[in-house]
Structure 1
Amino acid sequence: MRGVRRASRVVLLNGAGEVFLLHARDLHDDSRRWWLTCGGGAEMGETPEQTAARELAEETGLVCEPGELLGPLATRRAVMEFSERTLHQDEVFYGLQCEDEIDLADAVWTEVEKASIVGARWWTRDELRATSATVHPPRLIELMDLVLAGTAPDTPLDLDRGPDARMIP
Structure 2
Amino acid sequence: MILNLKNSYFLFSFIFYLLVSCFYLMAETRTTIYEKDHWKVFAYKYDDGGRACIASVSNSEMELQIYRSKDFYELATFYEDFTNKKYDFFKFQIDNNDPWIDDSPEYDNGWLMSNISNYTEQAASEIEKEMRAGRKFYHLDKNDTIAWFSLIGSNKAFDAFDKCVLKNGLY
Q: TM-score, normalised by structure 1?
A: 0.32
**Normalization by structure 2: what TM-score?**
0.32
CA radius of gyration, larger in = 2
Higher relative contact order (CA 8 A, sep 6+): 1
